[in-house]
Structure formats: structure tokens, C-alpha cells
Structure 1
Amino acid sequence: MATQRQYEELARRLSAIGAIKRGLGRVLPHDCPGGSAAVLLVLDREGEMRMSRLAELLAIDMSVTSRHVAHVADRGWIDRSPDPADKRSRIVKLTPAGRNKLAELNEGAVHALAHYLADWSDDEVDQLNALLARLRDSFGDCRATPRLGYAADPTEVTTRTPA
């Protein structure tokens, strides 16, 4: 089990991930900000879905999801159609133009990562990929996890109960 000092260092390192994400965000084209790119990525991975499911997978409010969806739909990257099972709902799906845009985004991200990690070995990149995947898996579905209380010893974290 890691020590408190190790967890403190990890917390500091993870807070720096924001700078990395901002750096990668700078390679995004002006017509496709991060939220729009996330919509395209989720639809590519998961396939067509209701707007409510997209909001859930993006872990953002439905109003924010609607703005992102409107942005990508206006550019022809996704289609919105009524849900045959519930006409009040919309089904969103990636278009061929959206797949092309996603390929462009992927190419930019790969180029940026290759630039920034040029002095890393293949094994180091593989290790980072494996550790990041394991870290993400350790958190599971963050939306379903109860809020954790804070304990003096990080190995003794408990869930909070309302007073």
C-alpha cells in the first residue's frame, strides 16, 4: 500500500494533467473545440444514441450537451433525428463528415503527442498507456461512485453519511 506522501505527490501530479489537456486542446482546429470533439469521439466509440445517454457519457448537463450537439450538427458532423420509440427524444449519430473530422482530430493529437514524447522510449509510452488505463479502471464509473470522506490516513477513506 502506498504511503500518504506518495498519494500527496500523486495528487499534485494529477492536478498538472490539466496543463497537458490544455496543450493538446491547442492543436484542435478552431471550428472544433474540446466539447465538440468529445461528442464526436463518444459517438464514434458508442454508436448512435439518445441525447440523454450522450449527456450521461460525457458527464455533463443536458443543456451543455445540447449546445455541443448543435455546434457539431450545424457543421454536418452528426445527424439528429426523432427517436422512433419516443418522438420527444432525439437520436444522434456520426456522419461521414464527422468521421473525417474525427480522423483529422486524431491525426493532430497523435502528431502533438509524438512531438512532446519524442525522447520517450516505446516501452515508456506503453507503460504510461497501461498505467493510465489502470488508473481509469480503478475509478470505475465515477458518476455512480459515492462521495468519499477525507480521513487522516488515505487508506481509511470512508463514505460520508448525511448528518
Structure 2
Amino acid sequence: MAGQAQYEELMRQFSAFGAVKREMGRILPSDCPAGSAAVLTLLARHGDMRMSKLSELLAVDMSVTSRHAAHLAERGWIDRSPDPADKRSRILHLTPAGLAQLEKLSRRTCELLAERLGDWSDEEVAQLTGLMARLRASFDDCRTAAPRVFEEITRTPANT
């Protein structure tokens, strides 16, 4: 298992990764911020879904998801239709214009990555991708356990 010094260095690298995310955000068109791009990506990957499912996948409050959906619908990139099973709920799906926007975003992002990682080998890019996927999965696995872990950390001897 890694030691404290390794985890501290990892935390520093996470902080520095913010600069990478900001630069990637700068290539997005002004009418398609990162949250909107994430919604388009999830709809393309998972297909039509309820707002509640999208909110869960984004790991954000339903009000945030609703604002993203409204923004995308105004641009014609998604459609919101009543859920046949529950008329109070909406089903979101990509439109052809939304798919075209997503392809444009993907092209821009791939160009930036190819430029910045041009001196990396295919193996190094694959290794980074695999490790990032594993990291994400580790945190997804912990999402439901987080409150219990927090309780363990914050418990005082008097509470035990």
C-alpha cells in the first residue's frame, strides 16, 4: 500500500490537474460549457434517460441538471419529452444537432490532446487512460460508502 508521502504527492498532482481541465475547458465554444458537454456525452453513451438518471450520472443536484437540460434544449441539442410511465418526469434524448455538436467537441478535444501528448507513446496514453478509469471506478465504488467512512473519521472516543 502506498505511504503518506505518495498520497501527498498524488494530492499535489490532483491540484495541478485543475490547470489541464481549465485548458480543456477553454477550447469549448461559449455556448457549450463543460456541464453541457458532459450532458451531451452521457446521452450519447447511455441513450435516452430521465432527468433523475442524468442527475445521478453527473453526481449533481437535480436543479443543476435541469439548468443544463434547459440550456441544451434552447439550442436544439436535446429534446425533452414526457415519460409515458410518469407524465411528471421528462425523458431526454439527443437530437441530430446535438450529435453534431458532440462530434465537434470531440474533434476539438482530440486535437488538443494529440497536440499536448504528441510525444507520448501509444502505450503511455493507454496506461494513463486505464489508470484514470481505475481511479474513477475506485471512487464510484466508494460513493455509497462515503458517509460511513466519514463517520469513522469524525467519531471521537466519547462517541464510540
- TM-score above 0.5: yes
* Root-mean-square deviation (Å): 1.9
SS at match of 2:76: coil
Question: Using a 3 Å threshold, how does the CA distance of structure 1 residues 18 and 52 change in structure 2: closer, same or farther?
Answer: same
| Larger displacement relative to structure 2 (77-86 or 8-17) | 8-17
- Mapped to 2, the partners of 1:141 and 1:55 lie a distance apart of 18
Unaligned runs of 5+ in 2: none
SS at match of 2:65: helix
- Mapped to 2, the partners of 1:121 and 1:33 lie a distance apart of 30
Task: Report what 1:65 is aligned to.
Answer: 65
- Mapped to 1, the partners of 2:87 and 2:139 lie a distance apart of 36
- Mapped to 2, the partners of 1:34 and 1:133 lie a distance apart of 19
- Mapped to 2, the partners of 1:15 and 1:95 lie a distance apart of 36
| Larger fraction in helix | 2
Post-superposition offset of 1:63: 1.0
- Mapped to 1, the partners of 2:61 and 2:49 lie a distance apart of 16
- Mapped to 2, the partners of 1:112 and 1:145 lie a distance apart of 36
Are 1:28 and 2:54 an aligned pair?
Answer: no
Post-superposition offset of 1:161: 5.1
Unaligned runs of 5+ in 1: 151-157
- Aligned partner letter, 2:117: L
Number of residue-to-residue matches in the alignment: 156
Task: Report what 2:123 is aligned to.
Answer: 123
- Mapped to 1, the partners of 2:40 and 2:103 lie a distance apart of 10
TM-score (norm 1): 0.88
TM-score (norm 2): 0.90
Question: Does the CA-based 8 Å contact 1:81-1:92 persist in structure 2?
Answer: yes
Alignment of 1:107-146 (within 5 A): 107-146=107-146
Post-superposition offset of 1:143: 3.6
- Mapped to 2, the partners of 1:35 and 1:6 lie a distance apart of 32
| Sequence identity (%) | 62
Post-superposition offset of 1:149: 4.5
SS at match of 1:16: helix
Query: For 1:68-88, what per-residue CA distance to the aligned partner results, in whole angstroms no more than 9, with x for missing partners?
Result: 101100111101001111111
